[in-house]
Structure 1
Amino acid sequence: MRQHWEPEDLIEVWTLLEDDMKKVRNKSGATRLGFALLLKSFEVEARFPESAGEMPAAAVGYVAQQVKVLAEAWAFYAWQGDRIKRHRREIREAYGFRANTEEDQERLAEWLAAELCQVELSRERLAAAVVARCRNDHIEPPAPKQVGRLVGKAVEEFKAQFCPGTMERLSVHVLRGRSLARRRRRRTHRLHVPQLRPPRQRTRSCARPHGPGTPTSSSLTRSNAAWFDTGPDRRGMVRAHTTSQ
């Protein structure tokens, strides 16, 4: 709990209002002062101090003046027994809170591991988130040491869940990356393969001299074309060729 308070902050936070005074009216001495201090400290932090030394000295003196009890009486307030348990229960009910249970702590650890540990590494911030969540749910937060153990448990649970899941996701991404790389290499290979063209056929020229009775290439072409002609005048062309010979 905050130990140093400026006078204006002390007045704003630790002043007992009319409803507060009604709650301490039927009490006296150290019991009256102890109840008033527990009441205001719970209003400030939504939890009870773990010991008398946690209470700010300035707050003890200021509240003692209001309830008209000596500040030294605070040292005689009993921190064990049924009386302080009854006072805490009465204060929780006044603010609409309830005591935390083991089930609450298990649920808080699961919440931290599932939602906050993956985005927040600071254990102090995680502990502050636990206290804020308890206040929001109107549950008295566990003691600071209990909150620390709860945060440690949540971090270990997150690590146990995070490592196998991360390795599995990495394996899937690696396999996909390798498959994509193979596809790209194949596509690139196809794009860079040169197109093979068949070699051009060279026409050989006739070396024999053309005599008077030697048919020329053009006449041979015309003669051969007649044999492959499938038109209606095919027979006439054949007869004309035979007659000419």
Structure 2
Amino acid sequence: MKRNWQIRFPNNKNEIPNAVIDYIAKQLNIDSKIFDGYDLNKRSYFYHKSQIREYFGFREATAADGDKVKDFLIENILYLEMNYERLKVEALNKFKLLHIEPPTIDRLERIIKSAIHTYEIKFFKETYSKSPTSSVDKMDT
């Protein structure tokens, strides 16, 4: 399974391959075992995340950002593609383009499912409104 490590912060230390930890430790000329004591639930971790965001010019996602990405999917992608994995890639790319840290996996899933639902409702309403009355009557019968 291919993983895209550069698009989000880890939820736990097990998500970070030992090869990455070893590589960074070597660059910093420190022992990789130091990372064993690094706690992802402490304030220092959240401070480090904010420093990384600032360095790369990103910011945390807001609910409005989620709505923007949802609207983007509805207006630009869903009429071409409804594959969930493809929608996920497009949503993550949009967050990256906007310099916004992607939301959690669960939040991203809700954004995508909401976009699909909204698109489908809009599609069926438009289809219904454009259908001749005679066709609608036949469907009702």
TM score, norm. by length of structure 2: 0.84
**Equivalent-residue separation in structure 2 for 1:173 and 1:122 (angstroms):** 34
Asked which structure has the greater CA Rg, the reply is 1
For 2:72, the equivalent position in structure 1 comes to 111
Task: State the Cα deviation string for residues 34-57 of structure 1 (Å, max 9, x = none).
Answer: xxxxxxx9xx62421221111122
Shift of 1:160: 1.2
Q: Indicate yes or no: 2:50 matched with 1:89.
A: yes
For 1:145, the equivalent position in structure 2 comes to 106
Structure 1: which 5+ residue stretches go unaligned? Answer: 4-40, 176-245
For 1:155, the equivalent position in structure 2 comes to 116
Matches within 5 A, 1:6-21: none
Task: State the Cα deviation string for residues 53-96 of structure 1 (Å, max 9, x = none).
Answer: 11122111121122232222222211113211111111111111
For 1:121, the equivalent position in structure 2 comes to 82
For 2:26, the equivalent position in structure 1 comes to 65
For 2:139, the equivalent position in structure 1 comes to none
**Equivalent-residue separation in structure 1 for 2:95 and 2:39 (angstroms):** 27
For 1:218, the equivalent position in structure 2 comes to none
Q: CA 1:71/1:144 → structure 2, altered by over 3 Å: closer, same or farther?
A: same
Q: CA 1:66/1:107 → structure 2, altered by over 3 Å: closer, same or farther?
A: same
**Equivalent-residue separation in structure 2 for 1:171 and 1:137 (angstroms):** 42
**Equivalent-residue separation in structure 2 for 1:172 and 1:100 (angstroms):** 45
One-letter identity of the residue aligned with 2:55: A
Say whether the 8 Å CA contact 1:117–1:155 is kept in structure 2: yes
For 1:170, the equivalent position in structure 2 comes to 131
**Equivalent-residue separation in structure 1 for 2:30 and 2:132 (angstroms):** 70
**Equivalent-residue separation in structure 2 for 1:173 and 1:141 (angstroms):** 48
**Equivalent-residue separation in structure 1 for 2:85 and 2:49 (angstroms):** 26
Q: How many percent identity over aligned positions?
A: 25
Matches within 5 A, 1:177-188: none
Which fold has the larger relative contact order, with Cα–Cα distance below 8 Å and residues 6 or more apart in sequence? Answer: 2
